[in-house]
Chain A
Amino acid sequence: MSEIKKTEDIFLKLISSSKNLEDLESIRIRALGKKGEVSNLMKSIGLMEEKERKIKAPLLNALKDKIIENLEKKKNLINEDILNKRISSEWSDISRPVRPTHKGKIHPISQVTDEIVEIFSDLGFSIAEGPQIESDWYNFDALNIPPEHPARQEFDTFYVKQNNKNGEEPNVLRTHTSPVQIRHMEKTDGVPCRIIVPGKVFRSDYDQTHTPMFNQLEGLAIDKDINMSHLKWTLEEFCRTFFDIEDIVLRFRSSHFPFTEPSAEVDIRCSWEDGLLKLGQGDSWLEILGSGMVHPNVLRSCKVDPKIYQGFAFGMGIDRLAMLKYGIPDLRSFFDSDIRWLDHYGFDPLNKPSIHNGL
């Protein structure tokens, strides 16, 4: 057997019997290192006669290649083996709970307000706002509620303490969002208009079903041709979308509000089953809002000519709408800021109401 063949046999045997990467590396050095056996053989090529070289050089090169190739193959085998062992040794308890995140929530009032705004925006209404401290004029007189009128006593008004009023009526915390009607219509481009006014209102009443602060939604549509049948349509469209009930039925009942004439209270058809309220069908009615055609005196307060313009207004409780839609039992809890309540009834911030996604 030639020396080359012998060398090859030795190394191939060594390689195939090696157990790990370290062994393999030392075999490589022994063969192909600077002073390795194969390297030495390769060096001898330079000293050979040409004839010998022609024969041996290709053989030696082939030897070197073969060893390199075998080293590589073996290395891959060992690596794969290592990987397999690692994989089979690894294990995770996939049942473990994940990292908790501190979750934020949107208050139900904000969520419901966004829903309302979304619907009325679609109907062409914009949002108007106004101050929460109001003058007597905006909160009452301009809305056709003269001083000493019994209707005034029904508002449980909060008065602001003021020192230098010279006999003028003190300012009040607005008892309704209706003053914003006045502030909007008295602007030079106030009418025609379609606005909604969501906002806080205040009445000095505090018991199981009343809080001294609550949230109201005012609606106002004024033009030359808006009548009460448009009011009915608007409210039906709103309720249908807001409550997501196709066959909603509204009942208009005559009533009286100083700022509208004719006035109507609006009931929604519902049923009570085992103490649970269901809107849509049934033989009961639930009052949900007050509305009517804006009183000519209110238009006059805003220097709007009632002979040319007319329109409707309505007002409803946002808190109440939230309670009805989401089955929240206690009004007072809205303002109690119990962390657990907020977690439970609050909304995911990513759940931004939109018409096309459904409300």
Chain B
Amino acid sequence: MKFSISWLKTYLDYNENIDVLVDYLNDLGLEVEGVDDPTKNYSSFVIGKISHVEKHPNADKLKVCKVLLGKNTKTIVCGANNVKNGMGVVVALPGTFIPGLGKKISVGKIRGVESFGMMCSEMELNLSDEHDGIISLSNPNIGENFSDWLKLNDPSKIDPVIEIAITPNRPDALGVYGIARDLHAKGLGKLVPRQIKKISPSIKSSIRISLDNSVSIKDCPYFVGRYIKDIKNSASPVWLSDRLKKIGLRPISGLVDLTNFLTFDSARPLHAFDADRLEGDLIVRKANNGEQLKALDGNIYKLDDTMTVIADAKGVQAIGGIIGGEQSGCSEYTKNIFVESAYFDPISTAKTGRKLGLITDARYRFERGIDPSFTESGLDYYTQLALNLFGGEPSDLVIAGKNPHKPKIFELSNDKVEKVTGISIKIEKQLDILLKLGFTVENQNEKILVSTPSWRPDITGEIDLVEEIIRVTSLNKLISTPLPQKDLGVSRSNLNKLQKNVSKTRRFLASVGLKETINYSFIDKKSAEIFSDNNNLVMLSNSISSEMTHLRPSLVPGLLEIIKKNQARGLNDIAVFEIGQTFYGSEPGEEKLELSGVFSGYNNERNAFQNRRNFDIYDAKFCVEETLKNLGINPDSLFLEREVPTYFHPNKSAYIKLGKFKKLGLFGELNPKLTNWYGFKNSPIIFSIFLEEILENNKVKKIKFENSPYPSVIRDFAFVVDEKIEVQNIVKTIRKIDKELIVGIKLFDVFEGQKAYEQIGRNKKSLAFEVILQSKDRTLIENEIEELSQKIISNVTDLTGGSLR
């Protein structure tokens, strides 16, 4: 909502400067979004008088002028054709910024003659498009700044414009008068009430109006109109067109401009029909399905039976509360008009506007709620201005329905404001504020009853009265007060188990080299299909791009996208993870908190230590296993399962399960088919951890430290086995041999691949284990050790069909 200071001053008599006004508006909740104050632009320009003009010695079209500027005189070269001796001019001295040129001027030689400034045209000062000659001032006050001159002689030129953001609860502030009322209540100046007189009709309206049954009492309860005969639709007077131009509206014709004026002046949209283009009487009804209107904006709108329209015998002439029709609009030939002023229901107006995709100044106000009690007065105000400006004979008011306003009455308790805000305000002061805002106050049996003015549909309870009082008083009066303390002891941890697990895991993964990322929760359809493990894809009905149509069923596609994006930037070594929500249904709660990570490229940058290698699935397995261990899960209770989702490589991936059934994590290589589809050179490594499944208590527990005082013995065993034998089976077998004496088993070498084929046989590999033997109560003797070693060899070879290497 924009308004100019001069407009505001027609309703508010005040002297404070614009900065004070801005502070008041902000404090009232009428947030100032912009101030356009031309005064500041013109105060650096000086008024001068040309005291001498002569022809430029080297140029026919230029003149060399002496310009009086108070105490001194400057030589200025000028090319304007209207330059003459004795003329009052606006001078920009060197260093002054010229808004119309967008630059500062400096001393310069023009064809050999030094010029100490510039005499400006209106265009150069952004005052108008006029650039034919420089400004000629009728009564120059030499040496004065131009801004002061304008204030005195042409105030509209430097009339500041303020733009404020109006919150949806304040339809009353969508007119200048409402803003003035607010400022007045806050103590800025005096409110100048609108002077609206009752119109005495000189004719009877030839057009009658009615409300159709199809328009319930709610959609349009009140409709008034007036016929004005023999009116002249000429151009608006300067004051009116200036008002509109200042706030960015284009003047059209007097009668139309006046309706726009009322919209911004008093938040009262009305519509003026060319009465001669209407046929028969007007009726407010629902549109018929398929009915159309070519509106004033030139577009044709298709209507349906939920929309309230104003129609004549021919058809729809306006969409209620939104826009008028082109055919019955006012033109330069208009002689007789019918002006309507009505109350259209906010909700149905909003619905219609949204369906039509049409936002107008009228709709904006109707859907927020206009003042129903200003329906007649608003029309009177229009009539009064129209008759003054454009003549004509007014009819009586024709009225259908009745004013729907019923004041709402709320009790205000003495202590409510202080209870809610902590600010103590005398009750007299509180009531004064309410009265100034237009509320009425009544004392009844010690109770304060406040009734709402017709222009405040937003007030629906006592708390809203508190808001009004505190808003006008200023929230700057709030005095910080410490929150009441609940208990004085050491504060308890406020995180639940999942929150703790998440926090711990995030920092753990970052500490082992992964970078945390946050990716959009939306992905494209194809990715959603690939990475979903059920068919419940969750789709948006109004996505903003084809890359963001679905909610992610998995974090993995987002992470793979990171590899793609970074590879495109030449960044190939990637280890990242994300902790976030995934979605398996479209109802609230059908989402899970998960963790996934991806690896691609080398595990390290190039360096002189040769410690660089490609990431592999064991990096991913490490992340899952270590995380689970950190969260209190006993590694001995974990199992692997090779049945993985199809986006994984079927032979290089596994679930990690707690016991037989509970899947806690997943790791492996991306299915090479997808690797190709994405266009990756190498298959990324992936892992996921299902955080919500981890219910173990991750509190740090310590068991008693036990250390045998007897020496341990280490024996190494290398077995040649079939290449598909899993290490875990061998380890299990060895452990089972003697759970007491075998205290450690480590795989320390794997020899596999082509070289192994050549040396130890086709499809064979060699696995070397270090087995640590130790007793708690004695030193092991050679015989025992030998016996255990033999058992290890025989049990492993029995299990695997392999042999000791």
Residues of chain A whose beta carbon lies under 8 Å from any beta carbon of chain B: 96-97, 99-107, 109-110, 114, 117, 121-127, 129, 131-135, 138, 148-151, 153-154, 158-162, 170-171, 173, 194, 200, 202, 204, 206, 211-213, 221, 223, 225-234, 236, 251-256, 258, 261-265, 293, 295-296, 310, 334-340, 342-343, 346, 348-350, 352
Residues from chain A with Cβ under 8 Å of B476 in the complex: 251-252
Interface residue from A109, A159, A223, A228 paired with B478 (Cβ < 8 Å): A228
Residues from chain A with Cβ under 8 Å of B494 in the complex: 117, 121, 125-127
Given A213-B520, A229-B421, 13 more A-B residue pairs with CB atoms under 8 Å apart are A107-B515, A107-B518, A114-B503, A133-B589, A134-B588, A148-B347, A150-B367, A160-B539, A160-B551, A253-B26, A262-B463, A293-B420, A350-B511
In the bound complex, do residue A161 and residue B539 qualify as a contact, i.e. CB atoms below 8 Å apart?
yes
Residues from chain B with Cβ under 8 Å of A295 in the complex: 463
Kindly state the separation between the CA atoms of A251 and B463 in the bound complex, as whole angstroms: 22
Given contacts A212-B520, A339-B574, contact A230 B591 (CB under 8 A): no
Kindly state the separation between the CA atoms of A349 and B590 in the bound complex, as whole angstroms: 31
Given contacts A127-B499, A262-B470, contact A255 B478 (CB under 8 A): no
Interface residue from A117, A212, A229 paired with B548 (Cβ < 8 Å): A212
- Chain A: CB-nearest residue to B572: A339
In the bound complex, do residue A131 and residue B586 qualify as a contact, i.e. CB atoms below 8 Å apart?
no
Interface residue from A122, A251, A342 paired with B516 (Cβ < 8 Å): A342
Q: Which of A121, A170, A335, A337 has the most CB of B within 10 A?
A: A337
Smallest beta-carbon distance A275→chain B, Å: 20
In the bound complex, do residue A150 and residue B480 qualify as a contact, i.e. CB atoms below 8 Å apart?
no
Q: Give the A-B contact count at a CB cut-off of 8 A.
A: 269
Kindly state the separation between the CA atoms of A122 and B562 in the bound complex, as whole angstroms: 37
Stretch from B58-66, B481-489, B791-799 at the A interface: B481-489
Kindly state the separation between the CA atoms of A121 and B509 in the bound complex, as whole angstroms: 25
- Taken residue by residue from 560 to 588, chain B's Cβ proximity to chain A (1 for < 8 Å, 0 otherwise) reads as 00100110010101111000110100111
In the bound complex, do residue A226 and residue B484 qualify as a contact, i.e. CB atoms below 8 Å apart?
yes
In the bound complex, do residue B350 and residue A148 qualify as a contact, i.e. CB atoms below 8 Å apart?
yes
The 9 closest A-B pairs by CB, nearest first: A254-B29, A229-B422, A256-B167, A349-B510, A104-B510, A252-B475, A126-B494, A233-B480, A102-B513
Residues from chain B with Cβ under 8 Å of A230 in the complex: 422, 481-484
- Chain A: CB-nearest residue to B540: A158
Kindly state the separation between the CA atoms of A287 and B537 in the bound complex, as whole angstroms: 39
In the bound complex, do residue B575 and residue A104 qualify as a contact, i.e. CB atoms below 8 Å apart?
yes
A and B contact pairs by CB, cutoff 8 A, 29 listed: A99-B607, A99-B609, A104-B513, A104-B575, A106-B516, A109-B518, A110-B506, A132-B581, A138-B588, A148-B351, A150-B346, A159-B541, A161-B541, A162-B586, A173-B521, A173-B540, A194-B486, A227-B481, A228-B470, A229-B479, A230-B482, A261-B464, A261-B466, A293-B463, A295-B463, A335-B519, A337-B565, A337-B576, A339-B576
In the bound complex, do residue A339 and residue B571 qualify as a contact, i.e. CB atoms below 8 Å apart?
yes
Interface residue from A106, A229, A338 paired with B506 (Cβ < 8 Å): A106
Kindly state the separation between the CA atoms of A124 and B566 in the bound complex, as whole angstroms: 42
Q: Does B409 contact A (CB under 8 A)?
A: no
Kindly state the separation between the CA atoms of A132 and B591 in the bound complex, as whole angstroms: 8
Given contacts A104-B512, A228-B420, contact A160 B483 (CB under 8 A): no
Residues from chain A with Cβ under 8 Å of B538 in the complex: 133, 160-161
In the bound complex, do residue A106 and residue B507 qualify as a contact, i.e. CB atoms below 8 Å apart?
yes
Smallest beta-carbon distance A192→chain B, Å: 9
Kindly state the separation between the CA atoms of A349 and B513 in the bound complex, as whole angstroms: 10
- Taken residue by residue from 596 to 629, chain B's Cβ proximity to chain A (1 for < 8 Å, 0 otherwise) reads as 0000000111011101000000000000000000
Residues from chain B with Cβ under 8 Å of A96 in the complex: 608
Residues from chain A with Cβ under 8 Å of B507 in the complex: 106, 349-350, 352
Residues from chain B with Cβ under 8 Å of A265 in the complex: 31
Residues from chain A with Cβ under 8 Å of B588 in the complex: 131, 133-135, 138, 171
In the bound complex, do residue A102 and residue B423 qualify as a contact, i.e. CB atoms below 8 Å apart?
no
- The majority secondary structure among interface residues of chain B is loop
- Chain A: CB-nearest residue to B615: A102
Kindly state the separation between the CA atoms of A265 and B26 in the bound complex, as whole angstroms: 10
Residues from chain B with Cβ under 8 Å of A97 in the complex: 607-608
Residues from chain B with Cβ under 8 Å of A252 in the complex: 475-476, 478
Q: Does B286 contact A (CB under 8 A)?
A: no
- Taken residue by residue from 490 to 522, chain B's Cβ proximity to chain A (1 for < 8 Å, 0 otherwise) reads as 010111100100010011111111111111111
In the bound complex, do residue A123 and residue B483 qualify as a contact, i.e. CB atoms below 8 Å apart?
yes
Residues from chain B with Cβ under 8 Å of A336 in the complex: 565
- Chain B: CB-nearest residue to A123: B483
Residues from chain B with Cβ under 8 Å of A103 in the complex: 513, 515
Smallest beta-carbon distance A308→chain B, Å: 12
Interface residue from B168, B421, B491 paired with A227 (Cβ < 8 Å): B421
Interface residue from B367, B491, B590 paired with A124 (Cβ < 8 Å): B491
Q: Does B467 contact A (CB under 8 A)?
A: yes
Kindly state the separation between the CA atoms of A148 and B348 in the bound complex, as whole angstroms: 8
Kindly state the separation between the CA atoms of A348 and B422 in the bound complex, as whole angstroms: 43
Q: Does B299 contact A (CB under 8 A)?
A: no
- The majority secondary structure among interface residues of chain A is mixed
Q: Does B27 contact A (CB under 8 A)?
A: yes
Smallest beta-carbon distance B30→chain A, Å: 9
Q: Does B471 contact A (CB under 8 A)?
A: yes
Given contacts A100-B605, A104-B511, contact A338 B569 (CB under 8 A): yes
In the bound complex, do residue A132 and residue B466 qualify as a contact, i.e. CB atoms below 8 Å apart?
no
Q: Does B544 contact A (CB under 8 A)?
A: yes
Q: Does B169 contact A (CB under 8 A)?
A: yes
Given contacts A160-B586, A204-B544, A226-B483, contact A339 B515 (CB under 8 A): yes
In the bound complex, do residue B31 and residue A253 qualify as a contact, i.e. CB atoms below 8 Å apart?
yes
In the bound complex, do residue B515 and residue A256 qualify as a contact, i.e. CB atoms below 8 Å apart?
no
- Taken residue by residue from 320 to 350, chain B's Cβ proximity to chain A (1 for < 8 Å, 0 otherwise) reads as 0000000000000000000000000011001
Residues from chain A with Cβ under 8 Å of B562 in the complex: 337
Interface residue from B479, B483, B548 paired with A221 (Cβ < 8 Å): B483
Kindly state the separation between the CA atoms of A132 and B480 in the bound complex, as whole angstroms: 34
In the bound complex, do residue A133 and residue B583 qualify as a contact, i.e. CB atoms below 8 Å apart?
yes
Kindly state the separation between the CA atoms of A131 and B592 in the bound complex, as whole angstroms: 9
Smallest beta-carbon distance A255→chain B, Å: 5
In the bound complex, do residue A161 and residue B586 qualify as a contact, i.e. CB atoms below 8 Å apart?
yes
Given contacts A254-B475, A255-B29, contact A99 B515 (CB under 8 A): no
Kindly state the separation between the CA atoms of A229 and B418 in the bound complex, as whole angstroms: 10
- Chain A: CB-nearest residue to B602: A102
In the bound complex, do residue B478 and residue A342 qualify as a contact, i.e. CB atoms below 8 Å apart?
no
Smallest beta-carbon distance B562→chain A, Å: 4
Residues from chain B with Cβ under 8 Å of A114 in the complex: 503
- Chain B: CB-nearest residue to A227: B422
Q: Does B635 contact A (CB under 8 A)?
A: no
- Taken residue by residue from 533 to 566, chain B's Cβ proximity to chain A (1 for < 8 Å, 0 otherwise) reads as 0000011111111001001000000000010011
Residues from chain B with Cβ under 8 Å of A233 in the complex: 480-483
Residues from chain B with Cβ under 8 Å of A171 in the complex: 586-588
Residues from chain A with Cβ under 8 Å of B580 in the complex: 200
Instruction: List B residues 654-689 near A (Cβ within 8 Å).
Output: none
Kindly state the separation between the CA atoms of A131 and B585 in the bound complex, as whole angstroms: 12
Kindly state the separation between the CA atoms of A151 and B27 in the bound complex, as whole angstroms: 21
Q: Does B271 contact A (CB under 8 A)?
A: no
Smallest beta-carbon distance A113→chain B, Å: 10
Q: Does B184 contact A (CB under 8 A)?
A: no
Kindly state the separation between the CA atoms of A296 and B461 in the bound complex, as whole angstroms: 9
Residues from chain A with Cβ under 8 Å of B347 in the complex: 148
Q: Does B244 contact A (CB under 8 A)?
A: no
Smallest beta-carbon distance A278→chain B, Å: 21
Q: Does B111 contact A (CB under 8 A)?
A: no
In the bound complex, do residue A346 and residue B583 qualify as a contact, i.e. CB atoms below 8 Å apart?
no
Kindly state the separation between the CA atoms of A225 and B419 in the bound complex, as whole angstroms: 8
Q: Does B368 contact A (CB under 8 A)?
A: yes
- Taken residue by residue from 288 to 304, chain B's Cβ proximity to chain A (1 for < 8 Å, 0 otherwise) reads as 00000000000000000
- Chain A: CB-nearest residue to B548: A212
Q: Which of B170, B351, B542, B588 has the most CB of A within 10 A?
A: B588
Residues from chain B with Cβ under 8 Å of A173 in the complex: 521, 540, 551
Given contacts A148-B351, A233-B480, A346-B515, contact A99 B611 (CB under 8 A): yes
Q: Does B28 contact A (CB under 8 A)?
A: yes
